[in-house]
Structure 1
Amino acid sequence: MNTTILPPAPWTTREDLAGLVAALDPDGAGLCRYVGGAVRDTLLGLDVKDIDMATPHLPEETQALLKAAGIRQVPTGLAHGTITAVLPGGPVEITTLRRDVSTDGRHATVAFSREWQEDAARRDFTINALYADPRTLEVSDYFDGLDDLASRTLRFIGAADQRIREDYLRILRYFRFQARFGSLPADPAAEAACAALAPGMKGLSRERVASELLGLLALPDPAATVARMAQLGVLAQVLPEADPAALPALIAAEAKAGQAPDALRRMAALLPADPPVVEQVAARLRLSIAQRKRLVAAAARSPLDALRPPRAMAYELGRDEAIDRLLLAGRDIADLTGWAVPRLPLKGGQIVARGVGAGPDVARTLRAVEARWVAEGFPDEARVMQLLDEELAKN
């Protein structure tokens, strides 16, 4: 059997990681390995953001070893065996090898293990169950994940329906990973299981659902995957208001405008132009106040957006909200590139100083000047004073 070695990557040569390995496995007995995304993404030549390690050490043993080495630690998931080592180059999650004892579709009760294959067997997809020795960088593969990675096949470990029943969030994870790593045609068994068990997602926390949906929509081009989720009846279980038809046009508009993928804007494209409905969706998904505000602003779009000056929209709505509305309308956003939304160089006190009594007349005059200032494309302060003179002359 051929041996696979991780290719060179900046993270594998980090000195702080070498110190962590020395603390966990001082004698080189194979008591810790890199696992999951860092291994997978390095094999694909992608940048690595998060590093996870697995170890047969019990959590308290890991804690003791880190303490002895003077490595700061945070017990981020002690009940499930996870300790986070806080290193200069970034945190590393260290988790004791585990096997599932029971699951309820949302959470698992685990027992700690000494067997690497037992730990691999409880993971979701074969491409996520790859381990690498931190010293030799030799990859351990228990479920043909390397072959699946080479063919871009996304496959559940074992029976797809069993894996999903352990945690229904794996349905959404399947489609997110399919959009990121997979190729078509998809694994028929995986799709069939996702479709059949999709109603089980209704018991998931809305925060977890929102996180997965936004993660999917943030990928370069998830349109085909989202459409497939709709065809299989999966999307309707978590976002019944969604219509995938508008997503390809928005993705094309983002690319043409040189805009990075934006998950929230893409969610806006999926949702109807109906602020009350979108407000309900945002509340249901437990989105932040800022996220809700932006989605509702996008939902207030109308055919008139095709006619309004981009800078006037940005002044009224906010720059991000205007870009959302413009791209959803298929419009050019070049006028907003490098442009900061200005502030009206006029205050109420200046109007009072011109002899206008404080009160409604000041506000009315201020609004009138502001409207003309916006219509003229935000001229300088001298022109604003001329506009003020003209408005005062009307009275």
Structure 2
Amino acid sequence: MDLPQTSAYIKQELAKMDIPSKTYLNGMAVAARIQGAKGTGRGLRLGLRADMDALPVQEETGLSFASDSGCMHACAHDGHMAMLLGAAKVLSAHADLFSGEVILIFQPSEEVPPGGALPMLAEGLLHDFPLDFIVGIHAGIVNPATKPGSINWKEGPLMAAVDTFILRFIGESSHAAHPEQSRDPIAAAAQFITALQSIKSRNIKASDLAVISIGKIQGGVSQNIIPETVELQGTVRSFAPEVRDRIENRIKQIAEGICLAMDVQAKLDFQRNYPAVVNDGDFTRRIAASLAKILDSSELNQMQDPVMIGEDFAYFLNEVPGTFLFLTNPKAQNGENYPHHHPRFDINEEQLTLGVTAFVQIALDILR
């Protein structure tokens, strides 16, 4: 959430374009309005959003402008800002080609729940800048199945709801040579991890998408000591609300059952984070038809399957009809395209023009 230099740069660039801006979240978030000059009357209001935050990753790209601060743009958010500023420059210079309003939204803290979208909404973003529709674009290689140099769209569910949990098993420590004197939290944790996999295979329909992963397990200090505690951290991804509820309930039940069987205690902290990103069907089809006017079949692709990563753009879509698009523009390092959040992740900057073009075309078509 702490992006003073980035926010200051965004405001500076908007000021150069004579676009007035307003800040939120203690000055870290920026919103601005470009007023169309075509026709009379209120017209429609279209929001265009870019997220701004970096990740606590030491960059290893070797680029001349690589970050040396211990943080890097390993998720293409620098590209998102560049695309939106580029679109703002074009649209502000050609306001006579559209009516209504283009609302520029520069949002911090997408990477860390509760995110930046929800606090911006809570501070009155939509009161100050009412919207009829909203569009966002994510660059990089969010969906590896898509072709580089393409804009990818999908109506309906696009990105998963994101939940996290921390589970702590508490037992009784002992010498590892006398396990009968312990209440072993490691054995309990091992059984929990194994039992966890049964939720997807036995408690949820095969046709319902869900992922349950343990990403961290920590416990013990030595090979000959059974520890008192073990901590697990995991993530849950899903789409249907009933599946989300079912998984949370089963995690609680399995933990309780293992505690009874293994004579240990457990403390579970389950956090609901971002909801699923669900694109509005009618609006998304309009956007696809609009982009088809300027992009050929190799540059515009309809995705068939959603992805299991999450995005707090979902909060905007809960309030306003809209769509989220993927621009696939990875740039190889040593012959390999590294994924998002990797220290060698990079993007093809030349293909950011596709995102700028998409934003401009959408605005001109929706606000014509």
Normalised-by-shorter TM-score class: under 0.3
| TM-score (structure 1 length as normaliser) | 0.21
Give the TM-score taking structure 2 as reference length: 0.22
- The structure with the largest strand share of the pair is 2
Higher helix share: 1
